[in-house]
A and B are shown apart, each in its own frame.
Chain A
Amino acid sequence: MKIDCNIDGKNYSFSVNSDKPLIQILIDDIEVESMMSICKGAFCGNCIVMIDGQAALSCLIPAFKMNGATIQTFESFRKTRAFRDIDRAYNEVGCTPCRQCYASKTMIIESIIQTIEKQQSLLSNPVERNRLRRSSEIEEIQAEQDQFAIRELSLNSCTCTEDSELVKVVKACLEYRRRRNVRRS
């Protein structure tokens, strides 16, 4: 089957078996270094990529679903400002994932931050913000966000880091981005 897609900003055209998983294409055909393990769908969570801006497990994506998609792996993500924020947050909290899961956990953290930022932008309405302040629902929302982050991080089965530490990384990173946005506006 002929597949056309964009991986890390480059256009590729492959002729591969239609049910070949994306992770194997990334390892065999593109030689992406950050992809290390093939668990064959055992949910090890070490193969996260962004497909059209959404995080996904590349072992669950067959080749025929890649046609026309834009795929970002950790290789190109590490060159972005978003990655530098997360890396800075790792250093600030003093918690860095091991070599095996570093790429995937970083991509999961980016996906968590994107979701939380979307929720926060919905709350940017001043009336809604005041209502929350009065009814002290902010703490409740923060607790929900922590739970959400822990659940998402559970997708990666590596136990090299504590979930609570990674939640701190998420919070630190959100703070960097908030400050940057304030400076911009």
Chain B
Amino acid sequence: MYEDLRSSTVFSPEGMGELVNYKQKNPQALFWAGGTYLMAKDITYPSKNPIDIISLDRMDELKRITRNDTSVEFGSMVNLQSVSIVAKNFFSSDICKALSSLSTQIIRSQATVGGALCTQKIKTSFATIMTTLDASVECRILSKKPLVKWVQVDKMFDKSGDLILSPTTLVTKLHINACKDSLFYFKATGSPMTEAENAVIFAIRCKLLQNTISETRACFNFPLVGLHTSELVQSSLTGIVLPMNPVRIMKLTEDLIEEIRREHPALKPIQMEQASRMFESFLYNLNAQIIARS
């Protein structure tokens, strides 16, 4: 069964210079971060055409966590478990709970920031949360003249959900501003890894000042279709005074579903239904919180 199989060539650079040299000689070589997605979906052993691998495991500069009073930067090889631990100092408890609910600790210890953001075929829950937090990534283009640019997480994907970054671009850092006073709501049905075709993930962040909603950032994730950052939700929720009338909630939900249907015609009816229920549930939760306070 395993006869005549060529083994993948694995290159483990220790610095950026080595990595650039190797990538220029082997542009088709695949970046290997945690390998959670690649081993589960992309790499099937035994394969007749094994691909060359660049393992980023020994790149210490990609494992750094830099923080100050207002922001935190994670290297792309930091694992999601470390992110959820460090997050406690920078984000509200709801955001921390959402980060700790991404899969199990066993998987989070293996999955990395870079891997979770740069999977080609699916969009992960981590990307959804980072979009609502307005996070941005440092992209390094591995050419003779090294070029570095910062890209917002939601701008990493096009409308159809494909990763825009070229194969010679390496995500090196993730930058997030601290937000301890924001309201955060996160809901996921199904896992992007095991039920990608039916899963829906929803995250929304907003500020609540004297019962008025402001600075709303909402993101729906349909793993195989793409991320949907709803401008309509963001603009129509901002400035609304709570509690909201149920008729208004219904109208807003209908508008949202219409917007999603227009932009992602390939979505399944079950995903539409789930998205509308999640959004409604968020608004009713918000109403309940305000009524309980008064």
In the complex the two chains form, what is the Cα distance from A40 to B40 in whole Å?
7
Cα distance A16–B8 when bound, in Å? 10
For residue A152, give the distance in angstroms from its CB to the closest CB of chain B: 5
CB distance A1 to B45 under 8 Å?
no
Q: Are B109 and A17 in contact (CB under 8 A)?
A: no
Q: How far is the CB of B164 from chain A (nearest CB, A)?
A: 26
Cβ of A109 to closest chain B Cβ, rounded Å = 12
Are B45 and A17 in contact, CB atoms less than 8 angstroms apart? yes
Q: Are A1 and B194 in contact (CB under 8 A)?
A: no
Contact status A57-B7, CB under 8 Å:
no
Main SS at interface, chain B:
loop
Determine how close the nearest CB of chain B comes to the CB of A173; give it in whole angstroms.
17
By a CB distance below 8 angstroms, the chain B residues around A17 are 2, 5, 7-8, 45-46, 50
How far does the alpha carbon of A18 sit from the alpha carbon of B8 in the complex, in Å?
A: 6
- In this assembly, does A32 line the interface, its C-beta being within 8 Å of a C-beta of chain B? no
The size bracket of the interface on B is 20 to 34
Interface assignment of A62: CB less than 8 Å from any CB of chain B: yes
Chain A, interface residues (CB within 8 Å), range? 20 to 34
Q: Mark A50-63, 1 if CB is under 8 A from B, else 0.
A: 00001111011110
**Contact sample, A vs B, 26 pairs, CB 8 Å cutoff:** A17-B5, A17-B7, A17-B45, A17-B46, A18-B10, A19-B7, A19-B45, A21-B39, A21-B45, A42-B194, A54-B109, A56-B106, A57-B110, A59-B40, A60-B35, A60-B110, A61-B35, A64-B10, A64-B53, A65-B55, A65-B57, A148-B105, A151-B101, A152-B104, A155-B106, A155-B107
Chain A to chain B: the 6 pairs with minimum beta-carbon distance, closest first: A41-B40, A17-B7, A60-B39, A64-B10, A155-B104, A19-B8
B interface residues, Cβ below 8 angstroms from A: 2, 5, 7-10, 12, 35-36, 39-41, 43-47, 50, 53, 55, 57, 101, 104-107, 109-110, 193-194
